[in-house]
Structure 1
């Protein structure tokens, strides 16, 4: 069983809603750490994409440059947790994503704790989105052609 399969099982057991718990940071509490986040599966995320939701890639810069969801904006999760502001209205539907779902949940929790009212985290990750044939961009390849 892969780590992604284990994460999916964990998300399913927790009813699609999680509270961000970041054991790698200091023990002081932050507003985002207690904010429940709705988790959305791949098909529902694509429905949201087609309906105009704003996608936020919370992966590291090197992951972003290897490819990302078409039209997404890039805000690495650590920066997003420090400055949870994105260039969309606070009631705009937003879906955060990463490679496997955990950073997406952290980013979504940071946004929700700071007034974004319609935020969801993609349960799976960019590789699953790409494998499903959904729209992606590859900055290096797109600039070369």
Structure 2
């Protein structure tokens, strides 16, 4: 099985980016183009994944959950790529994040 991991700045513009963190983490700060689909609810919400021929880029806080989710998706007929270092590295790389709450976005 071919399993890829890429740095946040290697995620192609416009690629489907799935954030698998929990609601409070998402609310604090996330990539503006990401779709929220918590790992804890993934199994019952597979129908919410975008229908695309492009790989799904999976991100969490530091890369652990997204690695597991991407592995599972790849083993179940999807093409998924883990975003190494997660939102921590996304933010450290200077890539923009937005918040669903009040105040400045941050990674929780």
TM-score normalized by the length of structure 2: 0.80
Structure 2 runs not aligned, ≥5 long: 104-108
**1:70 CA drift (Å):** 1.0
Q: RMSD in angstroms over aligned alpha carbons?
A: 2.1
Aligned to 1:72: 34
**TM-aligned CA distance change 1:103 to 1:141, over 3 Å:** same
User: What pairs up with 1:17-36 in 2 under 5 angstroms?
Assistant: none
Residues of 1 paired with 2:55 and 2:22: CA distance?
23
Q: Does 1:112 align with 2:74?
A: yes
TM-score by length of 1: 0.62
Partner residue in 1 for 2:98: 137
The CA distance in 2 between the partners of 1:67 and 1:136, in whole Å, is 6
> Which deviates further from its counterpart, 36-45 or 128-137?
36-45
Partner of 1:42: 8
- Cα distance, 1:113 vs. partner? 2.7
Higher helix share: 1
Aligned length, in residue pairs: 103
